[in-house]
Amino acid sequence: MKQFATVTVIGRDKTGVIARVTNFLFERRANIEALEEQVTRGQFSMTLEASWKAEHWRPDVIRGGLEQLGRDLGMEIKLRFTEPRRRQRFALMVTREPHCFQGVMAGVKAGRLKADAALVIGNRTDLQRLAEDYGLAFVLVPWVDRVEAEQRVLAELEARGIDFVVLARFMKILSPNFVWRYKNKIINIHPSLLPSFPGSQAYRQAYEHGVKIIGVTAHFVSMNLDEGPIIAQDCFRVRPDAALKEIVAAGQRLETKVLVKAVKLYLARRLDVFWGTVKQV
Walk me through the domains of the chain, giving residue ranges and CATH numbers.
Answer: 3-81 (3.30.70.260), 88-280 (3.40.50.170)
Residue 187: per-residue pLDDT: 96
**Do 263 and 223 contact (CB within 8 A), yes or no?**
no
Q: Is 6 exposed, middle or buried (0-12, 13-18, 19+ CB in 10 A)?
A: buried
Q: Is 133 in the active site?
A: no
Rounded Cα–Cα distance for residues 2 and 84 (Å):
8
- Phi first, then psi: give them for residue 103, nearest 5 degrees: -65, -45
Residue 262: per-residue pLDDT: 95
Residue 263: per-residue pLDDT: 96
Q: How many Cβ atoms are within 10 Å of 163's Cβ, its own excluded?
A: 21
Q: What angle do CA 53, 58, 60 make, to 5 degrees?
A: 150
Residue 275: per-residue pLDDT: 45
Q: Considering 72, 126, 145, 226, which one is annotated as catalytic?
A: 226
Residue 278: per-residue pLDDT: 60
Residue 126: per-residue pLDDT: 97
Residue 238: per-residue pLDDT: 83
Q: How many Cβ atoms are within 10 Å of 22's Cβ, its own excluded?
A: 17
Tens-digit pLDDT string for the chain (281 aa): 788 889 999 999 999 999 999 999 999 999 998 888 888 878 899 999 899 998 888 889 999 999 999 999 999 999 988 665 678 999 999 999 999 999 999 999 999 999 999 999 999 999 999 999 999 999 999 999 999 999 999 999 999 999 999 999 999 999 988 998 898 899 999 887 666 766 667 767 766 777 777 888 999 998 776 678 889 999 888 888 878 888 888 888 999 999 999 999 999 875 555 545 565 65
Residue 76: per-residue pLDDT: 93
